[in-house]
Every structure is written in C-alpha cells, then in structure tokens.
C-alpha cells in the first residue's frame, strides 16, 4: 500500500506501457465478487499516519540541514558518502516511526478481507466499477480500541495476478530495448535543442517539434513496441494458464493476489 510503503523507484519507459491491466479470459471473467478495494489516501489521512509523516518530515528537514553544513566544503567523494549516510539514517527513522503503523494496517486489511471472504484487495483508484469497498471497515479497525486481530484463515485462491514491473524492467530484452531508446532520445534531445535555437519563426519551431515527436515515435515503434508486445503476450499466456481473470501492477495490490513475476521474467529470457 502506498501509505505504508514507499516504492522509491523509477519505472522505465517500456514497463510504463506494459501491464496496467492485462488478461481477461472469457470464462469466469465476470466472477469478481471476491475482489475488494480500499482508498489508500483515506487511510493515509488518519491522524496516526499524519502524525508519523509530520515526524518524519521534521526529522528529515533537520537532518538535511545538518548534512548540508557538513557537505558545504566536502569533496565529491565525501559528498557521496554523506548522501548515503543521510539516506540510511532516513530509512532507519522511517522504519522506526512507521513499522508499528504498517503492521497494524496490514493486519486490519487482512482481517477485513478474511471476514468478507475476499481473495484480493486492490487500490480503489484502479476500480471503475464493481468490487467491495472495505475502506470504512479498515478505518474503523485502525481507529478503534485495541489492535486489529489477525485472521485465522488464509485467503481463498485468487483469480487476480500481479507483476513487479521493476523486475520485468531488468530482464535483458526489456532493459536493452529501454536503454537503447533512452540513449537515442538523449541524442535527439541535443540535436533538436540546437534546431530549436536555430529556428527563426514560430512556424519553424512548430515544425522542429513535430519532427522531434515523429522521430521518437518511429524509434519507439521499432525498438520498444516489439518488446512491449512480447511482454504483454507472456503475461497473458501465463494468466490464462493459471486461470487468472486479471493481472495488474504490484503497486496496486494491497492484499492477496497471485504473483506471476517470476513466471513472466522466465518466459522473457
């Protein structure tokens, strides 16, 4: 869940186009009664989370000022060490402040999901229609007296799968295609920046921008599209083989679901 876990990663262009929602076999495609949804922003707005975030923000601001002073006259190597030290101390503080809240939130979601016989809970932002909204139930558990009680039973087998796009980004074919496109784009940025400077009129500048977009689109179609298509096909094949009705990005899974990342990365090798 975004309110208890900072993903802190840059999604490569290829993966941004791959798997927001993949694979809907005809059989069982309407059987979504065991899917729950939660408004993570509403949970993040609870006083306990707001207080924790303020504590982290205050700590981070103070720590940053300390390290800025220490790094004012430091060498580049020393500055890199200071940055790593700063990040480590922030991560330690984040775990210290958020760990109890994260645990309670995880247990609350699992408890509500179990009571409603839900196999998976997703971020409500990706739900247009259907599903069981459990935001209120989870909020009540987190603001009530005492700690949420862990469920006794495990969730039923889920028909919703998910993939970790960061892992897919690192498969050789996807990474090579993405790196190739990004290098090409960087080169074109330099070329077209100079062309814009040399342009005399607004019409000339419009032509340069149109040429730039077409150049990138053409390269994307030849470099990225085949990899994206093969990745989507791999996800769809694995989903159908496992009887999944839907595959989404891991970042949208809150509870449950079937992780098919390893199957997809193996198929892409």
Tell me what the mean pLDDT of segment 113-139 comes to.
93
Percent with pLDDT over 90 in the chain:
77
Examine the domain organization and report whether 195 and 148 are in the same domain: no
Q: What is the pTM of this model?
A: 0.74
Q: How many CA atoms lie within 13 A of 221 on its CB side?
A: 6
Examine the domain organization and report whether 181 and 166 are in the same domain: yes
21: pLDDT strictly greater than 90: no
Report the pLDDT value the prediction gives residue 8, as an integer from 0 to 100.
37
Q: 158, 125, 155, 124: which is closest to 138 by C-alpha? A: 124
Report the pLDDT value the prediction gives residue 122, as an integer from 0 to 100.
94
Tell me what the mean pLDDT of segment 42-69 comes to.
95
123: pLDDT strictly greater than 50: yes
Give the domain-ending residue among 156, 182, 217: 156
Does residue 7 belong to any structural domain of this protein? Answer: no
Are the beta carbons of 124 and 133 closer than 8 angstroms? yes
22: pLDDT strictly greater than 60: no
Does residue 19 belong to any structural domain of this protein? Answer: no
Encode 119-158: b = buried (16+ Cβ within 10 Å), e = exposed.
bbbbbbeebeeebbebbebbbebbeeeeebeeeeeebeeb
Task: To the nearest 10°, report the CA torsion of 104, 105, 107, 111.
Answer: 130
Are the beta carbons of 142 and 43 closer than 8 angstroms? yes
Report the pLDDT value the prediction gives residue 50, as an integer from 0 to 100.
96
Q: Which residues pair with 253 in a beta bridge?
A: 122
25: pLDDT strictly greater than 70: no
Report the pLDDT value the prediction gives residue 24, as an integer from 0 to 100.
46
Tell me what the mean pLDDT of segment 34-51 comes to.
94
Give the domain-ending residue among 97, 126, 156: 156
Q: What is the mean pLDDT of the chain?
A: 87
Which tens digits make up the pLDDT trace of 161-184? Answer: 999 999 999 999 999 999 999 999
Examine the domain organization and report whether 151 and 229 are in the same domain: no
Examine the domain organization and report whether 166 and 269 are in the same domain: yes
Instruction: Please give the residue that has the higher pLDDT: either 18 or 231.
Output: 231
Give the domain-ending residue among 95, 126, 156: 156
32: confidence class by pLDDT, cuts 50, 70, 90? low
Examine the domain organization and report whether 167 and 151 are in the same domain: no
Give the total residue count for the chain: 269
Examine the domain organization and report whether 142 and 192 are in the same domain: no
Tell me what the mean pLDDT of segment 175-202 comes to.
95
Give residues with Cβ within 8 angstroms of 23, minimum separation 6: 161, 235, 236, 239, 240, 244, 245, 246, 247
18: pLDDT strictly greater than 50: no
158: confidence class by pLDDT, cuts 50, 70, 90? confident
Which tens digits make up the pLDDT trace of 69-122? Answer: 998 888 989 999 999 999 999 999 999 999 999 899 999 999 999 999 999 999
Examine the domain organization and report whether 172 and 133 are in the same domain: no
Domain that holds residue 42: 33-156
Structural domain count, the chain = 2
Give residues with Cβ within 8 angstroms of 43, minimum separation 6: 1, 3, 49, 105, 135, 138, 139, 142
Q: What is the CATH classification number for the domain harbouring 243?
A: 3.30.910.20
Report the pLDDT value the prediction gives residue 97, as an integer from 0 to 100.
95
């Amino acid at each position: 869940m975004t309110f208890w876990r900072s993903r802190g990663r840059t999604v490569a262009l290829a993966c941004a186009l791959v798997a927001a929602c993949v694979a809907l076999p005809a059989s069982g495609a309407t059987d979504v009664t065991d899917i729950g949804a939660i408004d993570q922003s509403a949970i993040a707005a609870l006083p306990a989370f707001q207080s924790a975030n303020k504590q982290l923000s205050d700590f981070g601001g103070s720590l940053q000022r300390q390290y800025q002073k220490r790094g004012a006259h430091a060498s580049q190597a020393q500055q890199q060490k200071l940055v790593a030290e700063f990040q480590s101390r922030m991560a330690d503080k984040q775990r210290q402040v958020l760990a109890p809240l994260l645990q309670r939130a995880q247990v609350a979601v699992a408890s509500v999901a179990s009571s409603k016989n839900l196999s998976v809970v997703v971020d409500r932002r990706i739900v247009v229609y259907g599903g069981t909204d459990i935001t209120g139930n989870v909020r009540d558990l987190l603001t009530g007296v005492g700690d949420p009680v862990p469920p006794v039973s495990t969730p039923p087998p889920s028909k919703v799968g998910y993939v970790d796009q960061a892992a897919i980004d690192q498969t050789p074919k996807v990474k090579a295609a993405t790196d190739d496109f990004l290098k090409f784009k960087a080169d074109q940025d330099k070329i077209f920046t100079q062309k814009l400077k040399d342009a005399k009129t607004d019409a000339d500048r419009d032509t340069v921008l149109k040429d730039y977009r077409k150049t990138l689109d053409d390269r994307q179609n030849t470099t990225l599209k085949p990899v994206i298509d093969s990745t989507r096909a791999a996800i769809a094949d694995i989903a159908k083989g496992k009887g999944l009705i839907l595959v989404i990005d891991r970042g949208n899974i809150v509870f449950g679901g079937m992780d098919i990342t390893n199957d997809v990365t193996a198929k892409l090798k």
